[in-house]
Homo-oligomer: A and B are copies of this chain.
Amino acid sequence: MIKATIITIGDEILIGQIVDTNSASISKHLNGAGITVEEKTSIGDEAEQIEATLHRALQSSQVVIITGGLGPTKDDITKHTLARIFNSPMHEDERVCEHVRTMLERRGISFNDLNRGQAMVPDCCTVLFNAYGTAPGMWFETESGGVVISLPGVPFEMEHLMEDEVMPRLKARFALRANVHRTMITAGLPESMLAERIAEWEDALPEWVKLAYLPSPNIVRLRLSAYNQEDGEATRAMIDELFDKLYDIIPQHIVGFEEATMQALVHDILCKRGLTLATAESCTGGTIASRFTAMAGASAYFLGGVVAYANEAKRDILGVDYDDIMKHGAVSECVARQMAEGVRRITGADYAIATTGIAGPTGGSEAKPVGTVWMAVATPHRTVAMMRASGSDRGQIINRASAYAIEMLYKELKEA
């Protein structure tokens, strides 16, 4: 089994100033190709710590991927540290130098010594050309047959280098076996009840598959994983069979497969059936619209949305009855219904979702505490509404209410 360690470098990660998304994305690439990530480590911009961590990683991993610390400024020490570890002099890479100069000139920036420094690379490494940025990636071979790869920390530059340079080279360099992961998405059963319902199936799983429960607000994902398999296709087929059996136990609770989010399930149904969608959001503030429009192809069904924050916007754009707002409050069933019906009418969409609630931290009352959210879905057949207490933290309320509302739409679409 080929094992990997991912090392992300940067004090900003250790003090919590940024969330490290790079290591998740690198893991996906490696796993997909059958390389098992055994550990991820984040450390600071300290030469000694980088060296110690790299040595430790190489004791059990054949592949070590390092991100970060390749910028032009003084706090970026990864490259010089690697040159020292590999005991290698450095030289200026002409292609990188020309590329950096051209990139900067296009942006009207003059080329300086710091930029020239970015074109310096250790003699012993293979340069991984970074078409999207100024810091090149580097590939080092260790004496014990391992590989150390250094990539820039800017997420999309790292991503392109992984795809275009790193993965093809790793596949050529190692005889890789397959890691197979399949995920089934369940809804409507909390983790402990789900475990009880499928206990017999779980106990009968063969030893070479590992089951994981991944709970989130309204769904639980079940993932089956098999590592280091000789025949990926055959393993996939066997895992599919295991999932077929699971399906027969709780058919009404299976809502999808793999990474599919609830919005992706809705997306697929709308695309397949040629139906259209509109949104009218108050407390979720555009989050529902942004979740759909983040998916490629959303323009096929997403006609538009209204973020009706102010009462006047609810009235003037969506046609909500102002007297109802005054009488029942903006956070009420009748306003949620009118918002959904209103945006459906003005856009001509087949389906519409609406939310109105109190995201806090202020604005709550005893009758309607922070977290109270009314949701409505208007369809060609009817309008349904529901109230959910969605937590106490603003971000959590927005996220949960968005998830609940999209789930409501999903149920309407499934029943239609």
CA distance in complex: A24, B28 (Å): 20
- Judge whether A374 is part of the interface by a CB distance below 8 angstroms: no
- Which among A90-98, A119-127, A164-172, A191-199 touches the partner chain? A191-199
Grouping DSSP codes into helix (H, G, I), strand (E, B) and loop, the A interface class, with mixed when no group exceeds half, is mixed
> Once the chains bind, are A107 and B292 in contact (CB under 8 Å)?
no
Nearest chain B residue, comparing its CB with the CB of A46 = B38
Query: Does A85 sit within 8 A of B, measured CB to CB?
Result: no
Give which listed residue, B156, B159, B347, B393, contacts A156 with CB less than 8 A: B393
Cβ of B212 and Cβ of A312 under 8 Å apart?
no
With a CB–CB cut-off of 8 A, which chain B residues contact A192? 72-73, 104, 109, 112, 114-115, 134
A41 engages B38 (CB within 8 Å)? no
Say whether A181 faces chain B, with CB atoms less than 8 Å apart: yes
B308 touches A71 (CB 8 A): no
Q: Which residue of B lies closest to A117 (CB)?
A: B192
Task: Say if the beta carbon of A37 comes within 8 Å of chain B.
Answer: yes
Which of A139-147, A231-239, A245-253, A280-288 is the interface stretch? A280-288
A17 at the interface (CB under 8 A from B): yes
Q: Is A14 an interface residue (CB 8 A)?
A: yes
CB atoms of A293 and B309 under 8 A apart: yes
Measured between beta carbons, the chain B residues less than 8 angstroms from A27 are 13-16
A1-41 CB mask vs B (1 if < 8 Å, else 0) is 00000000011111111111101111111010000111111
Contacts of A313 in B (CB 8 A): 303-304, 347
A114 to B195, CA, bound (A): 8
Residue ID in chain B nearest A318 by CB atoms: B304
- Once A286-B307, A298-B309, A309-B303 are accepted as A-B contacts, the answer to whether A17 and B214 lie under 8 Å apart by CB is yes
With an 8 A cutoff between CB atoms, is A190 at the interface? yes
Query: Does A327 interact with chain B (Cβ within 8 Å)?
Result: no
- Tell me which of A265-273, A377-385, A394-402, A404-412 binds B: A394-402
